[in-house]
C-alpha cells in the first residue's frame, strides 16, 4: 500500500514538475482519448458531467479580460512616453507595426475562409454565449467611443475598453510629472494582473481536459481533423506573411536583398520557435539585427523592444484563423462588420499582448468576445496552443526585425555592407545574448 501511494505521489510530483505546455498537451490528448471512448461506448452523459470544471476555467478567463486589457494597454502606452522625442522614427515604427499586423490578421481571416477549419463541427454554445446580431459598419465605428467606460467594462465591450485605455494612457503621458503616480500605480497593477493571469493559466490543463472530454465525448472523432486544419492554416499563414510581407517590405521598402534578411534572422527565429516568448528572445533578436543585418544600435534598441511589446503579427494571424474556426464550429455567421471588428480588435489588442508564452490565447478571448463568439472555442484551441504559439512567436520576432531593418535603412542607420556580408552569429555570442 505504501508502495502504491509512493508511486502515485511520484507521478503527481512528476506531473507538478512538468512544464505547463506539456501538461496542457497531455491533458488535451488524454481528454480526446477518454472523450472518444465515452462517445464510442455511448456514455455521452459522463462526458457532459465533467464539463463544469471546464466552465469554471472559461469563467476565470472571462474574469481576466477587462482588467488585463485595460491595465496592459495603459502600461503599454505609458511605456511609449519617449515617443515624442523619437518623433519620426517612432511614428514610422508604430505605423509599420500596426500596418503589418492588420495585414497579418487579414491573411489569417482569408485562410480561415479558404480552409474552413471549423466547418461541419456543428457545436452548440451555451445560450449566453450565442452571437448577437452583427452591427453595421457605421455602428461599429461610432460605437468605438464609449459613452460610459464603466458600463463598457461591465458589458465586456472590448473595443470600447481598448479605445478608453489608449486615451487614458496618452493622458497619463501628457500629464508629465503630475501624472507619474498614476503611471507607477498602473505599472504595479500590471504586475499583479500578470500574476493573476499566471495563476489562472496554471489551471488550464484541468480546464482543457474537462472541455476536451466533453467535446470529444459529444462530437467523437469528427473533432480531430479540424484541429489539424487549424495548425496547417496557421503555419501556412505564417510562411506566407513572412515571405510576402516581410520579404516585400525589405525588398521594396528598403531596397535590400530579402534572402540575406532571412539568413540573418534565423537564430532569433529558432529561439522564438522553441521558447515561444518574443520578450525572452529579445536579446538574441537584438544581437542578430545589429551583427548580422547591420542595423544601428540606436534604432534597434528603440524599435525592437517596442516590437516585442506591441508588434504581434503571428498572434494576430492566429487569431484570425481561430476566430473563423470558432465561428464555423459553432455555426455563427460573420458579416463584413464582424470581420472589420476582428481586424481592429486584434490589431489594437496586439499592443497589449505581452511577449510571453500563451499570451495570444488570452487575447483570443478578447477577439472572440468583440464579435460575440462563444468562449468555449478558446478552451478547444488551448489544447493545441503550444504548437501554434511556436509558429506565431517566430513570426512575431521576424516582423520586429523586418521593421527595424526598414526603419534603420530609411534613417541611414543601416550598414549595408554588413547587411550584405553573410556571417552567422557564433556560438559564444549567441549564448552571451541569451544569458
Ligand atoms: N508567445 C507570443 C510571443 O511571445 C505571444 C503569443 O502568445 O501570441 O510573441
Q: How far is the CA of 278 from the centre of ligand 1 (A)?
A: 6
Closest Cα to residue 289, out of 400, 371, 396, 394?
A: 400
CB distance 241 to 104 below 8 Å: yes
Distance CA 376, CA 68 (A): 19
Q: For residue 26, is pLDDT > 90?
A: no
Q: How far is the CA of 354 from the centre of ligand 1 (A)?
A: 7
Best residue among 312, 350, 386, 399 to mutate for probing ligand 1's pocket (most ligand atoms within 8 Å of CB) is 312
Instruction: Write the DSSP symbol of residue 334.
Output: P
CA-315 nearest atom, ligand 1 = 8
Q: Is the dihedral of CA 250, 254, 260, 265 positive or negative?
A: negative
* 20 or 399, which is more confident: 399
Q: How far is CA 130 from the centre of its chain?
A: 23
pLDDT computed for residue 426 by the predictor: 43
pLDDT computed for residue 353 by the predictor: 74
Best residue among 365, 367, 389 to mutate for probing ligand 1's pocket (most ligand atoms within 8 Å of CB) is 389
Q: How far is the CA of 393 from the centre of ligand 1 (A)?
A: 5
Q: From atom 3 of ligand 1, which residue's Cα is the shortest distance away?
A: 355
Tell me what the mean pLDDT of segment 256-282 comes to. Answer: 85
Per cent of the chain over pLDDT 70 is: 85
Q: How far is the CA of 272 from the centre of ligand 1 (A)?
A: 9
Q: What is the phi/psi pair of residue 151, to 5°? A: -65, -40
Q: What is the pLDDT of residues 151-160, one digit of tens each?
A: 988 877 766 8
Question: 423: pLDDT confidence band, cut at 50, 70 and 90?
Answer: low
Q: Among the residues of 158-203, which ranges form H helices? A: 158-174, 180-202
Instruction: Write the DSSP symbol of residue 251.
Output: I
* 410 or 384, which is more confident: 410
pLDDT computed for residue 86 by the predictor: 53
Q: How many helices (H) and strands (E) does the chain have?
A: 24, 0
CA-357 nearest atom, ligand 1 = 1
Question: 320: pLDDT confidence band, cut at 50, 70 and 90?
Answer: very high
3-state secondary structure of 295: strand
What Rg value do the Cα atoms of the chain yield, rounded?
Answer: 22
pLDDT computed for residue 132 by the predictor: 42
**Least confident interval from 27-41, 90-104, 111-125:** 111-125
Q: From atom 6 of ligand 1, which residue's Cα is the shortest distance away?
A: 360
Q: What is the pLDDT of residues 110-141, one digit of tens each?
A: 999 999 888 777 776 544 444 444 455 566 67
Q: How far is the CA of 42 from the centre of ligand 1 (A)?
A: 40
Q: How far is the CA of 341 from the centre of ligand 1 (A)?
A: 21
**Pocket around ligand 1 at a 6 A CB cut-off:** 276-278, 312, 315, 353, 355-360, 389, 392-393, 396
Q: How far is the CA of 4 from the centre of ligand 1 (A)?
A: 41
The model's pTM: 0.70
Total number of residues shown for the chain: 435
Q: From atom 8 of ligand 1, which residue's Cα is the shortest distance away?
A: 360
Amino acid at each position: 500500500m505504501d508502495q502504491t501511494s509512493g508511486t502515485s505521489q511520484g507521478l503527481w510530483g512528476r506531473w507538478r514538475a512538468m512544464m505547463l505546455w506539456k501538461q496542457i498537451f497531455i491533458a488535451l490528448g488524454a481528454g480526446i482519448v477518454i472523450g472518444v471512448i465515452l462517445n464510442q461506448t455511448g456514455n455521452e452523459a459522463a462526458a457532459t458531467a465533467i464539463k463544469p470544471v471546464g466552465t469554471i476555467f472559461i469563467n476565470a478567463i472571462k474574469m481576466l479580460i477587462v482588467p488585463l486589457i485595460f491595465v496592459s494597454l495603459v502600461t503599454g502606452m505609458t511605456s511609449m512616453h519617449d515617443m515624442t522625442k523619437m518623433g519620426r522614427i517612432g511614428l514610422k515604427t508604430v505605423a509599420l507595426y500596426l500596418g503589418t499586423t492588420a495585414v497579418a490578421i487579414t491573411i489569417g481571416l482569408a485562410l480561415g475562409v479558404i480552409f474552413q477549419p471549423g466547418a461541419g463541427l456543428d457545436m452548440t454554445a451555451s445560450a449566453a454565449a450565442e452571437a448577437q446580431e452583427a452591427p453595421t459598419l457605421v455602428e461599429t465605428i461610432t460605437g468605438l467611443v464609449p459613452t460610459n467606460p464603466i458600463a463598457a467594462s461591465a458589458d465586456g465591450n472590448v473595443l470600447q475598453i481598448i479605445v478608453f485605455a489608449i486615451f487614458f494612457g496618452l493622458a497619463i503621458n501628457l500629464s508629465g510629472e503630475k501624472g507619474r503616480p498614476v503611471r507607477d500605480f498602473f505599472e504595479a497593477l500590471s504586475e499583479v494582473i500578470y500574476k493573476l493571469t499566471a495563476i489562472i493559466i496554471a489551471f488550464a490543463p484541468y480546464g482543457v481536459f474537462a472541455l476536451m472530454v466533453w467535446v470529444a465525448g459529444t462530437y467523437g472523432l469528427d473533432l480531430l481533423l479540424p484541429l489539424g486544419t487549424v495548425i496547417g492554416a496557421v503555419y501556412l499563414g505564417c510562411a506566407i506573411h513572412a515571405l510576402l510581407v516581410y520579404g516585400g517590405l525589405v525588398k521594396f521598402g528598403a531596397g535590400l536583398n530579402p534572402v540575406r534578411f532571412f539568413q540573418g534572422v534565423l537564430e532569433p527565429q529558432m529561439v522564438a520557435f522553441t521558447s515561444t516568448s518574443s520578450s525572452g528572445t529579445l536579446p538574441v533578436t537584438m544581437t542578430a539585427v545589429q551583427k548580422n543585418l547591420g542595423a544601428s544600435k540606436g534604432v534597434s534598441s528603440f524599435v525592437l523592444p517596442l516590437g516585442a511589446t506591441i508588434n504581434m503579427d503571428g498572434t494576430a494571424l492566429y487569431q484570425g484563423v481561430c476566430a473563423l474556426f470558432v465561428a464555423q464550429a459553432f455555426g455563427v455567421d460573420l458579416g463584413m462588420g464582424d470581420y472589420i471588428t476582428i481586424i481592429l480588435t486584434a490589431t489594437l489588442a496586439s499592443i497589449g499582448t505581452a511577449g510571453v508564452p500563451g499570451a495570444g490565447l488570452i487575447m483570443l478571448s478578447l477577439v472572440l468576445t468583440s464579435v460575440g463568439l462563444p468562449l468555449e472555442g478558446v478552451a478547444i484551441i488551448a489544447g493545441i496552443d503550444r504548437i501554434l504559439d511556436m509558429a506565431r512567436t517566430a513570426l512575431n520576432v521576424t516582423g520586429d526585425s523586418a521593421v527595424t531593418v526598414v526603419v534603420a535603412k530609411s534613417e541611414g542607420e543601416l550598414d549595408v555592407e554588413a547587411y550584405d556580408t553573410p556571417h552567422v552569429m557564433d556560438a559564444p555570442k549567441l549564448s552571451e545574448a541569451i544569458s
